[in-house]
């Protein structure tokens, strides 16, 4: 049976950093997604395998905590493992370290298996083979509902491009974070770094859709609530919460 965890290294490329030369949150999420996909392949539950049975993986929740932000050329080691598995959801954990073994980030995520015909989650015990679990959580989170954004302070519109799509033919999960961060006030982006990110995915966006990214202060100067909605019918696609820390801290 395959190992309960997988380690994979990523060198931060010049096109994966922000204007300060630090790795972008979207790039980090893509590293996590890539490591998860490789481990799923080794466990015999890759997206392509599930799709051959009319099923696929979908990401439900992500919670990322950042402790420092490495720069271009640095190498990150991602360790990932599945921790929990119940009837309809399974959790996957992540640890990120640099070459000096400094802790860069921790993350936890919740996944479901979707029936491609009905677009509804299925029971995991009847859809997936058994595989090893390590019950340690990287981030303790029971994935309670994120607050709904009632009144936005900033908004931007986007149109879903072909390059935003993934193997499931809907918007890749990391794209939602990119949309959300684009609406954060420029002063915050200039003077702070992202310390914490939570994402709750609620509905699919597809090629050609027009969406609106909204945000508002989350009750204090260091946090924001975010909402991604379909511009056409107003359907809520995702909720997010971000927490920021001054660069000087």
Structure tokens at 48: 């392509």
Model pLDDT, residue 168:
82
Backbone angles phi, psi at 25, to 5 degrees: -60, -35
Backbone angles phi, psi at 176, to 5 degrees: -60, -40
Give the CA distances from residue 172 to residues 59, 123, 161, 177, 227, in Å, rounded to whole numbers and listed in that order.
Answer: 10, 23, 11, 10, 16
Model pLDDT, residue 203:
92
What pTM was computed for the model?
0.95
Q: Could you give the maximum distance between any two Cα atoms of the chain, in Å?
A: 51
- C-alpha to C-alpha distance for 145 and 32, rounded to whole angstroms: 22
Structure tokens at 19: 């204007």
What SS3 state is found at 38? Answer: helix
- C-alpha to C-alpha distance for 177 and 25, rounded to whole angstroms: 8
Q: Which domains does the chain have, with CATH numbers?
A: 1-143 (3.10.129.10), 145-249 (3.10.129.10)
Nearest 5 degrees, angle CA 56-CA 60-CA 65?
A: 130
Model pLDDT, residue 1:
55
pLDDT in tens, the chain (249 residues): 578 999 999 999 999 999 999 999 999 999 999 999 999 999 999 999 999 999 999 999 999 999 999 999 999 999 999 999 998 999 999 999 999 999 999 999 999 999 999 999 999 998 999 999 999 999 999 999 999 999 999 999 999 999 999 888 889 999 999 999 999 999 999 999 999 999 999 999 999 999 999 999 987 769 999 999 999 999 999 999 999 999 976
Give the CA distances from residue 145 to residues 4, 235, 238, 239, in Å, rounded to whole numbers and listed in that order.
Answer: 29, 17, 11, 9
């Amino acid at each position: 049976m395959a190992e309960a965890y997988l380690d994979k290294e990523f060198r931060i490329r010049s096109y994966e950093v922000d204007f300060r030369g630090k790795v972008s949150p979207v790039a980090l999420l893509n590293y996590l997604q890539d490591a998860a996909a490789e481990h799923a392949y080794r466990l015999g539950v890759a997206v392509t395998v599930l799709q051959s049975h009319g099923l696929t993986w979908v990401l439900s929740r992500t919670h990322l905590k950042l402790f420092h932000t490495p720069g271009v050329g640095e190498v990150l080691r991602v360790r990932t493992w599945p921790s929990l598995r119940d009837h309809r959801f399974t959790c996957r954990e992540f640890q990120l370290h640099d070459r000096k073994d400094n802790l860069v980030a921790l993350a936890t995520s919740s996944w479901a298996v979707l029936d491609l015909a009905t677009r509804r989650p299925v029971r995991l015990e009847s859809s997936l083979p058994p595989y090893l679990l390590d019950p340690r959580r990287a981030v303790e989170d029971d994935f309670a509902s994120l607050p709904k954004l009632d009144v936005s302070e900033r908004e931007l519109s986007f149109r879903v491009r072909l390059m935003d799509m993934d193997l499931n033919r809907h918007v890749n999960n990391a794209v939602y974070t990119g949309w959300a961060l684009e609406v954060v006030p420029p002063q915050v982006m200039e003077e702070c770094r992202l310390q914490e990110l939570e994402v709750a995915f609620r509905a699919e966006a597809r090629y050609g859709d027009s969406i609106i990214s909204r945000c508002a202060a989350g009750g204090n100067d260091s946090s924001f609530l975010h909402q991604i909605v379909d511009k056409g019918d107003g359907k809520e696609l995702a909720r997010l919460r971000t927490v920021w820390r001054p660069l000087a801290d």
